[in-house]
Structure 1
Amino acid sequence: MKSYSVYRNIRKNAVIFGLAVSSFAIQMGSVIASLLLIIFAFKLLLLLGLLVWNFGLYITLLRINSFPFTRVSARLPSLISNKQTGLSRYYEY
């Protein structure tokens, strides 16, 4: 039977199309810039070049995300809680 992890672990490694959120933002920036170039300077070679560029960038970002040093799980706490951790004890008189 398939097992699922606890919901709070989803926030540690959010992915969109196999990319981390920051890598996905880089990819979308490249796609938007490519669309602007295609709209304002339409050429067949430019279209093919930008398709190859975006596909290559996607493959590169996927490979970079597969390295263990790119994971951010070490920076996040092991438990996320709303409990107040302040030193003031105004409720204990």
Structure 2
Amino acid sequence: MKKYEVYKNIRKQAIIFGLPISLFALMMVVVIASLLVIIFSFSFMIIIMVFVINSTLYVGLTKFAHHPQLLQFSKVFPKIISNKKTSAFHYE
């Protein structure tokens, strides 16, 4: 028999299908748009392509949700920490 564990960290962050609320909302917008494409398309290849795009988006979003540092391009801390006021005037 399968055991399901209770998600007790709801105060920490709500998770739906392994995605935070904002990424889940993005996924649902893409799913609704793809349903519109499927309804108005007449090609079998477009339907297959929509399913592939949705599945790769889901895999990418779950990977991003577990490792958010993947899209961090800049450094967190500055190179120099100083209390000196920054000014455009040069007195020398």
Fold shared by both chains (TM-score > 0.5)? yes
Q: Distance in 2 between matches of 1:24 and 1:43?
A: 28
Structure with a larger share of its residues in helix: 1
Q: Hey, which bits of structure 1, 4+ residues long, moved more than 6 A?
A: none
Q: Distance in 2 between matches of 1:46 and 1:63?
A: 26
Cα deviation digits, residues 19-39 of structure 1 (max 9, x gap): 000000011011000000111
| 1:13-92 superposed matches below 5 A | 13-67=13-67, 69=69
Mark the runs of 5 or more structure 2 residues left unpaired by the alignment: 1-5, 71-92
TM-score under structure 2 length normalisation? 0.62
- Largest Rg, 1 or 2: 2
Mark the runs of 5 or more structure 1 residues left unpaired by the alignment: 71-93
TM-score under structure 1 length normalisation? 0.62
Q: What percent of counterpart residues are identical? A: 45
Aligned to 2:12: 12
